[in-house]
Structure 1
Amino acid sequence: MAQKTSAIKLVKLRELMEAAQVGGLKGKGIQALVVSSDDAHQSEYLRDYDKRIRFISGFTGSFGTAIITPNKAMLWTDGRYYMQAIAEFDPPEAWTLMKEGLLNTPTRAAWLISNLPPKSTVGADANLISYTEWAVLHTSLTAAGHCLMPLEENLIDKVWGDEQPAPTANIVLPQPLQFSGCSAGKKIKLCRQVMNKNNVKALVISALDEVAYILNLRGSDIPYNPVFFAYVILTLNELHLFIDKTRLIEEAQQQLTNEEVNVVYHPYGDVHNFLKKIANSCANDDKIWVSNGSSYALHTDCGEAKKHTKITPISVMKAVKNNIEIEGMKAAHVRDSVALVKYFAWLEDQVKNKKNTITEISGATQLEKFRQQQEHFIGLSFPTISSVGPHGAIIHYLPTSKTDVPITDEEIYLCDSGAQYRDGTTDVTRTLHFGNPSSFERECFTRVFKGQCRLSSTIFPLMIRGNYLDTLARENLWNVGLNYLHGTGHGIGSYLNVHEGPIGISWKPYPDDPGLQPGMFLSNEPGYYEDEKFGIRLENIELIVKANTSYNHKNRGFLTFETVTLVPIQTKLLDVSLLTDNEIQYLNNYHTKCLNTLKPLLQGPENAQALEWLERETQPLTK
């Protein structure tokens, strides 16, 4: 069957909107359709089966919400994707970009209220929108006389039809105790203790990384994310797992038994009926714990039962790494840094000596080969952002055969990449210039570095939210009227998702941030982007540790960061006149740590090129 053209997709979708059944009323239709970039588990990254926004609009970014009406098609996304969305819209004349985060951009609810006829009905798939998002939209639309209704079928899927990829259902593997550091049985016991304190009868676990974490299992249903599609409903006496049992290899099933987890298996699709049964059996004081980050559909299943809607105890447990996970994450970042040093040394030699033409794609491919040489390597943690010159200004740029260009000594090269290892997940960005950067490029790079240094060096109170630290990374950019339109830091998993909640450092508050604590890992990644010219970003992963302070006001306790990424920062891009003595000392100390840690791992003739580069790039900086 020939693929549907982009224009025909919207025509067919609008026909279905007009004929949609809402509230059991055939032919009532809907006046607007909301399409989120979620799957049924509110995942950030998606399998092909769930890429509905890409199908209908062409946009491939990981965050966006589309609203389609009879005569308009709008897409909201954040600053990471402004340029990318405009370039990818298909057909471009049919779509309008709404730049979320800018002061003059209306919210989705405000736009709908301003553009819909009176008493309109807005439809959405309740499985693909979180309860929080649904509640905000529902409240605003209802107050304006409109109605938000769950659709009985997904209209995008109907248009997609036979061309929609099949859902993935790959095998599930064990994550052994030597890497997890805590048995699944102990994790479950800790959850039940918290459930008892909150008078909770059942805990609904829908986030895929939480399912994988609590069971000490890993999968590959979503590219780059070692998770698998399943739900868990934990009661005070049983653990109900909604998955085809045959997907768990024998070793995975045996590990669950060894870690004292007695599983009751159910088909994946039975979760809604099962949850309704639990809700109907609840006594007056019983509660069901279901996070507001879970789908509106799961909340609806709870009916009239009382709900406990805080983030799950697993979310915080997962963010605070245990000692085994901490050591694993550190070890993974050391090995990953070895791979990156090998890559940048090789790349510089290829580019400066014009040995071969290296492009964005061939460079990224070579970097992956260096990572494959490292122990415990599983795969990448996201598609490598290998970007030259103007492409670097597209914050989450992904090179394709149509856009691929050579890496040269004439433009800035930005490389943001990461890997999945059995003992940890990595994410690192470096920006380099193999020729002669302009004074403006050097100033921007220096101000980005100053922000990273400022954040990495800060001391802050225990349990403060990450949102309060964001300004530290931006101050030196703001001082001269520059900024970046993405967050400064995200949590990162331990052989789990590269972007891990509930913590983060951003100009936007993280409503579920429980407060920063020792054992959490966060990225530190300020940047600056000059549209159509270049992009600059420096990213390290930081471990939160206790700080040594002269005082301890009210016994609060104070924290700081320990950098676990060990890849040199290119000093030729720095304008040393803008650096303070403390910043120079910080960088020299960091480079000494990089050299002392990596040098023993880069011995032998096969590593001579990388070692020479490492020694040169870590030379002390002076004014």
Structure 2
Amino acid sequence: MTTQTFPPAVFQSFDEKSDPSDVAPRLAALRGALAKAGVDAFLVPRADAHRGESVPPGEARLAYMTGFTGSAGFAVVGADKAGLFVDSRYTLQAPAQTDTKAVTIHEWLQGGLSVEIGDYVPEGGIIAYDPWLHTPGEIRDLAEKLAGRATLKPSANLVDTIWADRPGAPVTPIEFLGHNRSGKNASDKIAELQAALATDHADATVLTLPESICWLLNMRGRDVPNTPFVLGFAIVPQTGLPTLYLDAAKITAELSQSLDGIAHVASSDTLPAALASLGKDGKAVLIDPASAPEAIAASLKNAGAKLIEKRDPVLLPKSRKNDAELGGMREAHRLDGIALAKFLSWFDSAAPKGDQTEIGLVTALEAFRREEETCVDASFDTISGAGPNGAIVHYRVTTKTDRTLQPGELMLLDSGAQYLAGTTDITRTMSTGSSTPEQRDRFTRVLKGMIAISMAKFPKGTSGAQIDVLARQFLWQDGVTYNHGTGHGVGAYLGVHEGPIGISSRYTMPLELGNVISNEPGYYKAGEYGIRIENLIVVVESASPGFLEFETITLAPIDTRLVDKTLLTEAERVWLNSYHQRVWDEIGPLVSGSTREWLKGATAAI
């Protein structure tokens, strides 16, 4: 089978999403808007009001202004200069997408907006921002950093005033999960949330994160790519029914009927009045200062509400997947395992020919996944990095960057899917022929780190920050590391990245039963190759009282041709062989022909 026989991809586009030549004229137009507004600069974040990793086209203001399409970052546009701030994942992507003559790129350590924003205005200047796109915590932090160097001023969004052909808000179908998929009725979830509000002495909470609202109401949608979100807001009182605020075009008789007795439905246009009413009545309202828009916090405060600032109260219960959700996630990974077996078998026969491209590989994998009718989307744009492109951690292939995979190069493929049962995320680094001793050494050290996490047993109360070193230790021993987290939380037919748990220095919340997390150490040699191995794992009870451990739910072979067996301990070898035996036992009966024969060899013991 050749790449040309696969149908075109539908989950992912390979078009260039931006043109650097657009940047300078758009900056000039925005500067005209600055002058009219009487301000010296305007902040342009990547985020929308819902803080999502994916945003609708009409919310992609950072891409519109700078050309940068990464999932995190922000810009500041001053009267005579502009800056684009991106983290270490995007230091190669950003200069390729923007006009570096018009925009200065800064490497940004996430943890609030950068104090260097102040360099883009004169002393005592005014920096305007859209309060719907920034959080209270973010604005307070920046004000402290600027310390009188400049003044922050809430404003209408100045980018919108110059974006003549800005796309409208999405209006897509909404579905509701049955108990077999959600595992808990929405009314029960709401009652538990209301009990938590009573404990916090809160009269109500305002929910702004779509994953929280969708999980609470057992609701899913298609408002953004890759993630089954419905974009909206919700107010949940301590007693009585919540109110869901949506674009009026989404409100149908069917929707209202589906939520009858669970929640009221109202137009988003009425949200400001509802916030003012809470304030007028002097209610104590819980908001998350790290995710709620500053506009909501200001409306409540100005109307007289007492603000209780705490983490979104849905995030933690959502991260503890129940039996039905875990059953769905395991089923999704079983389905994904079938697709991966077919793809990897095909890849092994096709790659050595030297005519496969990065786009072709994405297209092939999507085609194998779409053979399963319950696969409804990719969970993110596939990272398909051949040879040196594999060293770009969040590489997105386009028709401009598409590279032909050469025999002997390493191929890194990080992908995931949204099945109706659950969400997947898997990375495999594959051999295409001969490999160097260095490549095998690095691959094996990454594998040892992944196995160390997989085999970890830890006391209850342990956080992901505490076990992160287990994955890095073998690379550290050779004086190298990787500059991304070892693992992130994963939603159950929700976002492929979800908090508040994960495995890295920034995840200090204790891991709990039912957490689903990625396990993905890596190594990247700029200009040459990249290595990452990723499985998803579930926190489960250990046989040792008071301890937890992990269950691996991803079911796909790891390329043992890249393993330096002399570096593995006996325990690591046993784990790898046991994992591959499980892949064979669970996926082998579900595939046939050449795929089955290939899988038998790929899962053979070493």
| TM-score, normalising length: structure 2 | 0.92
- Distance in 2 (CA, whole Å) between partners of 1:294 and 1:188 is 19
- Are positions 1:38 and 2:40 aligned together? no
Paired residues of 2:359 and 2:402 also in contact (CA < 8 A) = yes
Q: CA deviation at 1:440?
A: 1.4
Candidates 146, 154, 159, aligned match of 2:157: 154
Q: Which residue of 1 aligns with 2:594?
A: 609
Among 524, 536, 540, which residue is 1:541 paired with? 536
Equivalence for 1:135: 140
1:521 aligns with: 516
Deviations 1:518-546 (CA, angstroms, capped at 9, x unpaired): 10100011111111111111111000011
* Amino acid corresponding to residue 614 of structure 1 in structure 2: L
Q: Which whole-Å deviations, capped at 9, do the CAs of 1:564-616 have from their partners, x for residues lacking one?
A: 001111011111222212211111111111111111111xxxx3121112111
Select which of 78, 85, 101 maps to 2:87.
Answer: 78
Kindly indicate whether the alpha-carbon contact (under 8 Å) linking 1:488 and 1:524 is maintained by their aligned counterparts in 2. Answer: yes
How far is the alpha carbon of 1:376 from its aligned partner?
2.4
Shift of 1:380: 1.0
CA contact (8 A) 1:588 1:618 kept: yes
**TM-superposed deviation, 1:116:** 4.0
Could you tell me how far 1:226 is from its partner in structure 2? 0.3
Question: Residue type of the partner of 1:94?
Answer: A
What letter is aligned with 1:222? V
- 2:59 pairs with 1:50: yes
> Hey, what's the Cα distance between the residues in 2 that align with 1:506 and 1:338?
30
Q: How far apart are 1:113 and its partner, in Å? A: 4.0
Secondary structure at the residue paired with 1:5?
helix
User: Is residue 343 of structure 1 aligned with residue 343 of structure 2?
Assistant: yes
Question: Which residues of structure 2 form unaligned runs of 5+?
Answer: 1-18
Q: Is 1:597 equivalent to 2:600 in the alignment?
A: no
In structure 2, what is the equivalent of residue 240 of structure 1? 243
Distance 1:51 1:384 in 2: 20
Instruction: Report the counterpart of residue 603 of structure 2 in structure 1.
Output: 618
State whether residues 171 and 248 of structure 1, in contact with CA within 8 Å, keep that contact through their aligned partners in structure 2.
Answer: no
Q: Answer yes or no: is the 8 Å Cα contact 1:173–1:248 preserved in 2.
A: no
Give the CA deviation at 1:468: 1.8
Give 1:107 deviation, angstroms.
7.6
Partner amino acid, structure 2, of 1:92: T
Separation in 2, partners of 1:249, 1:579: 59
Checking the alignment, whether the CA contact within 8 Å between 2:113 and 2:138 is kept in structure 1 is no
Contact 1:169–1:228 at 8 Å: present in 2 too? no
d(CA) in 2 for partners of 1:348, 1:522: 29
Residues in 2 aligned to 1:146 and 1:5: alpha-carbon distance in whole angstroms = 29
Matches within 5 A, 1:466-615: 466-507=464-505, 509-510=506-507, 514-549=509-544, 552=545, 557-602=546-591, 607-615=592-600
Which structure 1 residue ranges, 5 or more long, are not aligned?
21-28
Q: Tell me if 1:230 matches 2:232.
A: yes
Q: Is the 8 A contact 2:322 2:514 kept in 1?
A: yes
Code of the residue aligned with 1:37 in structure 2: it is R
Give % identity.
35
Deviation string, structure 1 residues 143-189 (Cα, Å, up to 9, x no partner):
234211111x11111221x2212221112111222111111111111
| Cα distance in 1 for residues equivalent to 2:149 and 2:377 | 50
Deviation of the 1:118 alpha carbon? 2.2
The CA RMSD over aligned residues, in Å, is: 1.9
Query: What displacement does 1:252 show?
Result: 4.9
1:173·1:249 contact (CA, 8 Å) conserved in 2? no
Number of the residue aligned with 2:427: 429
Q: Secondary structure in 2 aligned to 1:80?
A: helix
> CA offset at residue 114 of structure 1?
5.2
- Counterpart in the other structure of 2:13: none
| C-alpha contact 2:41 2:120 (8 A) present in aligned 1 | no
Decide whether the 8 Å contact of 2:386 with 2:405 is kept in 1: yes
* Matched positions, count: 583
How big is the shift at 1:70?
2.3
C-alpha change, 1:317 and 1:245, in structure 2 (3 Å) is farther
Aligned to 1:192: 194
Match of 2:103 among 87, 95, 98: 95
Q: How many Å separate the matches in 1 of 2:434 and 2:503?
A: 33
Residue correspondence of structure 1 range 246-395 to structure 2 within 5 A: 247=250, 252-257=255-260, 260-261=261-262, 263-282=263-282, 286-292=283-289, 293-303=291-301, 304-352=304-352, 354=353, 357-374=355-372, 376-395=374-393
Would you say the 8 A contact 2:56–2:223 is kept in 1? yes
1:6-46: CA deviations, max 9, x gaps?
211111112222221xxxxxxxx222322111101111111
Partner Cα distance (2:509, 2:351) in 1? 46
Task: Tell me, in whole angstroms, the C-alpha distance in 2 between the residues paired with 1:5 and 1:78.
Answer: 23
Contact 2:77/2:120 (8 A) holds in 1 = no
Which SS does the other structure have where 1:163 is aligned? coil
Deviations along 1:44-94, one digit per CA (max 9) or x if unpaired, are: 1111111111111111100011122223222222222111112111x2222
